Chain A
Amino acid sequence: MPFFTGTKGSLLLEGNTIASVQNWTVSTTVSVLNTRTLSESDDFFEPDSRNTSGSCRVLYYRDESNLNNASTFINKVIKARDGSPGQGASLLQGDQNTPNEVRSSLRLKVDDGSADGLYIELRVIITNVTLTMSVGEIFAADIAFQGCGAPTFVNI
């Protein structure tokens, strides 16, 4: 019976594997409506809505071509002002192929040896990026994301 450890995990942003992910989590919650009436003693529920959110930690690095995947995340949220509007910056989070898109595509993957592996793919809005630099630690970005709609693909 195979178990999966962190070595089997990966994360793809806009279809590209992020090389230096230290961890990822995803959480799905179904909220419920209480339908218990005055004459009843025990709560009874109807499902109401579903919420999916998660987080990941990406280590910052530079490879030979001066590229790094952490910047891909960071630059979706932390932007220099571009006058849209006034002293603001664009809130768009798409890639170069979908520059007007406010959401990103994120695939949380577990390698089980098959071609595609096990995965959950979501359209997400990155809601928080926290950059942490401290003595004795690697410069890293803690990223939180909020799923939009149900996952686009689930195979897990």
Chain B
Amino acid sequence: MAFPDLVPTARTYDAGDFPVKVFKSQNGVEHRILYGSNRTNMKLSLTYANIPDANAKLFLDHYQEEQGTFGTFDFMPTGYVKGWESNTSELDAKTFGNKYRYEGPPKVVQVRSGISTVTVNLIGVL
């Protein structure tokens, strides 16, 4: 199954960085070595507030299918970028040669009977 095609109520995106190693000498001079040509470690945090439990379960099912934080996936339905009015590929790890995986388990907060808030944290990896 694909990542659930739902529109989040809040989204945080951390653009990651290129693999750079920084060396600082004692006199303060900085040396940087670029170890790769692809930006990576972009982080995407999605919050789905007050959704039905049936939809919350979709994230748990997907997390299970991806074997937790182990599996990577590069297909993301369009729901997660809804509301972003620029080029949506900017938020897609695939654009930069990465794939998303779960950074940690989805967090499900039961708000009331039948309604939950789900927070999903994804990280782009090469």
Contacts and interface: CB of A to CB of B under 8 A. Distances in A.
Q: Is the interface of A mostly helix, strand, loop or mixed?
A: loop
B50 interface: yes
A48 to B, nearest CB: 5
B11 A34 contact: no
A49 B82 contact: no
Interface in B76-99: 82-84
B31 interface: no
Nearest to B83: A38
Contact of B111 (A33, A36, A39, A40): A33
A150 B115 CA distance: 21
In the complex, which range does the number of interface residues on chain B fall in? 10 to 19
Interface string B1-33: 000001111110000000000000000000000
Given A39-B82, A48-B111, A33 B7 contact: no
A33 B8 contact: no
A37 interface: yes
B8 A37 contact: yes
A35 interface: yes
In the complex, which range does the number of interface residues on chain A fall in? 10 to 19
Interface string A41-63: 00000101100000000000000
A39 B8 CA distance: 8
B115 A46 contact: yes
B113 to A, nearest CB: 10
B116 to A, nearest CB: 11
Contact of A35 (B11, B49, B82, B83): B49
A38 B9 contact: yes
A33 B83 contact: no
Contacts of B84: 38
Q: Which 6 A-B pairs have the closest CB atoms?
A: A38-B83, A39-B82, A37-B7, A33-B50, A39-B83, A35-B50
Interface of B: 6-11, 49-51, 82-84, 111-112, 115
Interface of A: 33-40, 46, 48-49
